[in-house]
Structure 1
């Protein structure tokens, strides 16, 4: 079966539940029934890979989070304090 530990493999999730990642990436605060939006990266931690796909203001896509990097998305609790502070600061300034 599927292990739902603290971190989940995005690729495994896509493989096991193909539409679930699409649902999880929906931004429920800014989307409207006529225009759905995905959540944004909210920081530039991954922009070095491709700023057009991973920039702070760019919407996450299934292909971006399952691009073979592995464990790209992590629960906040598993991120370093430094990374958590960067995201919090970005959210305050936005």
Structure 2
């Protein structure tokens, strides 16, 4: 999935089509990542929302983007929202 994202980003078609993505995580680091991506010019992505396993966040939003609760496996969620890639951010990267 990561290779496909970078291949699409660096391809000649990049200017014609934005990469539809979700950010895995819903903490401060994930928000910082989303803000950094929004500052890219031109922005290479359409961010659909943030993925979180916490059911308490189901009806909340971050940066006017929905928090998508991961109830099933991640590939199922990605397919359901129509995303092409996942950017992993936040505490999910920490041990």
With the shorter chain as reference, the TM-score category is under 0.3
Structure having the larger proportion of residues in strand: 2
State the structure with bigger RCO (CA 8 A, min sep 6), 1 or 2. Answer: 2
TM-score, normalization by structure 2: 0.25
User: Which has the higher Rg, Structure 1 or Structure 2?
Assistant: 1
- What TM-score results when the alignment is normalised by the length of structure 1? 0.25
